[in-house]
Structure 1
Amino acid sequence: MTTIRISLLLSLFTILGLNAQETESQKPKTNTISQQFEDLLENSNNYQDYKVVKLNSLNKLKANTADSISAFQGQITDLQAQINSQQEEIKNLNTTLEETKATLEETRAEKDSIFFLGIPMSKGGYMGMMWGIVAVLALALVFFIFRFKGSNAHTQEARKKLADLEVEYDDYRKKALEKEQKMGRLLQDERNKAVKNTKK
């Protein structure tokens, strides 16, 4: 009789425990999968070294786990799509950056270069060439100034010699004219003397 009562009490406690467990399992679970596993283990019955788990609770946990895995896989797919999109955007930005760098280098090269007679030259080379031309022209000018001064000195000296020569020529002509006149007078005197002597 006592064993029957004990068996009835155990059966009653087991039914009450299972009803309470079912009531708890019917509540919407918003906790994590790990928490659901812990709840399942806490609400399961012990039998020797084993845990007795309700099949309905186990199936629900399995469904929740599958839903969570599916949701995580969806998130992974979305994140992978975002990563791919960001990588494509980074690739496009790198391409744009390389093009911008190339354009910048070309612009700098054009800015630093000057076309001289259709030949592209750097500003430094152009300035060096211009200063070289100026130096050559300055040297040529100095050379021609010295040549002009030398030629002018020779010209002045030649003019002076020509003037002196003209003065000497005038003196010589005057002396020659005087000499000619003197010789003419002497000749006339001799003629006159000869005429006088013949009259005698």
Structure 2
Amino acid sequence: MSEKQGVLTGFKTFLMRGNVVELAVAVVVGAAFTKIVNTVVEGVINPVVGSIGPKDLEHYQFCLQSPCTFDDKTGAAVDGITIKWGSVLSASLTFLITAAVVYFLMIVPMNKLKERLDAKDAAEAAAAPVEKTELELLTEIRDALLAGRHDGDGPANAAVLAAQRKVSGNGDRPGPEGPSGASGQR
């Protein structure tokens, strides 16, 4: 049962990562824009290119190995080897248009929104008071106790504090005398 829960927890963590969610959004948005992009290529770009030559980019090709003969109805090569560079150009234009639409309509607005939210979070974090850790509080208590014990000593008090900090590793842990820094004698 524990292994199953561990696997499910790991799977949930994997799914909730930002990259996986962003990838899923990209796939959905790309699929949604495919029809629009294909329509723009077929309805706008192909006619513009067709004014120079054939109506469709798919028909642009050249013969690599002679003799090349083409079917008049379909435009397909009957004999010879052809390179269909029009298909490559059409696919490249489709890709560029899709990438531009996704970038300018999805990525740029999302990045601006994320920047605003991050700036707001940073402002809230800067306004929040910083809480001290237990270790810092204990160090302050120890220092106050030592200062109170040696009130009239002045330089001796500073020397005891410096020695205590050195022994305790800059206030990270109490020394061998305990948290108060005294050896038990008064």
Q: Is TM > 0.5 for Structure 1 vs Structure 2?
A: no
> Scaled by the length of structure 1, what TM-score is found?
0.27
- Higher RCO (CA 8 Å, separation ≥ 6 residues): 2
Q: Who wins on radius of gyration, i.e. which is larger?
A: 1
> Scaled by the length of structure 2, what TM-score is found?
0.29
